[in-house]
Amino acid sequence: MKTTEPSLTGLKNLKSRIKYIREKMDELKIDAYFIYYLPNVSYLTGFRGSSGFVIVTHNKSYFITDSRYEEESKKEIEEEFEILIHKGLTQTLKKARFMRYIKRIGFEKDWMPYGVYKNFEKELNKKFVPCEDIVRKIRIHKNDSEIEKIKKAQRINEKIFEEIIDIIKPDKVREIDLAAEIEYKIKKSGGEVPFPPIVATGSNSALPHAKPGKRIIKNNKPLKIDMGVKYKGFCSDMTRTIWIGKKPSQEFIKIYQIVLDAQNKAIESIKIGMEAKEVDGIARKHIEEKGYGKFFGHGLGHGIGIEVHELPALSPLSKDKIEEGMVFTIEPGIYLPNRFGVRIEDLVCIKNREKFVITKTTKNLIKI
């Protein structure tokens, strides 16, 4: 008899998420599920350290870390989990009473290294079963509290962006200086830096993921800034391309408008149940019709949450659909090699079956 897949959109709290994991364990015929990937561990437990694991059995859930995080664990870890402090992970698991009743242990096949998996299997004398990343699927759908954290992260992001704009002095500031200032302000605000900021001027802006260098930010050049903030474990992400000077070139104005129109058309089209690749296609079609299709080489957007890149993927090959509780970016771009690039990136959320744009920073061309 075919089983019905539980609705992921209804998993709004930890108990329902653990229940879903156990239902998947039944389907996979495993006695426990070993969560090795740290962002998944953090998502379920609230842990913010650098070394921790979760094992979910049919009766109980365990969080395992070392003595460095013993005190933090008492404060951070959700009550659902029994905390185990190890002095050697394999030895601790060998001695753990709950392991006596476990024969088959599932694990995230995309994250646990092959050597680690084979060593666990040998040392613990258990069958380790490669499985899909169950938690990553749950993470797609955010509850109200998680959405509020993303919004707060974006509000901090926007405030810092405004401060950064105010300190740009043409011919006096380098890309790396501005990137360092962004990171400093994020940390000073109480947030974390989820990814190195992209600060790219002139022809460097034509590189989608340019690394800030010693290039001086000069007048009559574009400047692309891609930055994010992590707040209480959840990320934001925003890109703006601005013009240094009061009179942008006609070509830059033209490209900027094409990118902006592509983004607006994509956002306007979004509705629940829509194929993510269809949203990508709407922006991509507009850019192609304007003759710049070959200069838009990446996907339109990505999910955001505990990590800055999550599901859903909004790209031509995506198999995802737009669903309740999703938060994702919409970030079309045109990159003209050795000349300049333009990208505009906003965060969009699906809540109560409606879409809304989280990002509030203006998309009107900023000129300094």
pLDDT of residue 5: 47
Give the H or E element holding residue 351: strand 346-351
pLDDT category at 244 given cuts 50, 70, 90 is very high
pLDDT at 209 exceeding the cut of 50: yes
Q: Which CATH class, in words, describes the domain spanning 144-357? A: alpha beta
Q: What is the mean pLDDT of residues 86-92?
A: 91
CA distance from start to end of the chain: 65
Of 161, 249, 156, 136, the C-alpha closest to 202 is 249
pLDDT at 199 exceeding the cut of 50: yes
Burial class (CB in 10 A: 0-12, 13-18, 19+), 363: middle
pLDDT category at 125 given cuts 50, 70, 90 is very high
Residue listed under structure tokens 């400047």: 223
Q: Compute the distance between CA of residue 7 and CA of residue 22 in angstroms, rounded to an integer.
A: 14
Q: Compute the distance between CA of residue 262 and CA of residue 275 in angstroms, rounded to an integer.
A: 17
pLDDT digits (tens, 9 = 90+) for 258-304: 999 999 999 999 999 999 999 999 999 999 999 999 999 999 999 99
Rounded to two decimals, the pTM is 0.92
Assess contact for 63 and 69: CB atoms under 8 A.
no
pLDDT category at 8 given cuts 50, 70, 90 is low
Assess contact for 341 and 205: CB atoms under 8 A.
yes
Assess contact for 140 and 8: CB atoms under 8 A.
yes
Instruction: Give the residue extent of every domain in the chain.
Output: 8-138, 144-357
Domain 8-138, what fold? Creatine Amidinohydrolase; Chain A, domain 1 (3.40.350)
Give the H or E element holding residue 108: strand 104-108
Query: What percentage of the chain carries pLDDT values higher than 70?
Result: 97
pLDDT of residue 7: 58
Cα→Cα distances 248→45, 167, 219, 367, Å:
49, 20, 10, 8
Assess contact for 122 and 81: CB atoms under 8 A.
no
pLDDT digits (tens, 9 = 90+) for 146-163: 999 999 999 999 999 999
pLDDT of residue 3: 41
pLDDT of residue 348: 98
Assess contact for 222 and 201: CB atoms under 8 A.
yes
Assess contact for 63 and 53: CB atoms under 8 A.
yes
Assess contact for 316 and 248: CB atoms under 8 A.
no
Peptide bond into 194 cis (omega under 30): no
pLDDT of residue 65: 95
Cα→Cα distances 73→48, 76, 211, 285, 351, Å:
9, 5, 36, 50, 32
**Residue 170, SS3 per DSSP:** coil
Show the DSSP H helices in 249-336 as ranges.
250-269, 276-289
pLDDT digits (tens, 9 = 90+) for 16-32: 999 999 999 999 999 99
Of 342, 345, 346, 344, the C-alpha closest to 356 is 346
Query: What percentage of the chain carries pLDDT values higher than 90?
Result: 91
Of 216, 215, 205, the C-alpha closest to 171 is 216
pLDDT of residue 205: 97
Cα→Cα distances 44→35, 51, 55, 188, 343, Å:
10, 14, 11, 27, 34
Q: CA 241, 244, 246, 247: dihedral to nearest 10 degrees? A: -70
Q: Compute the distance between CA of residue 356 and CA of residue 333 in angstroms, rounded to an integer.
A: 21
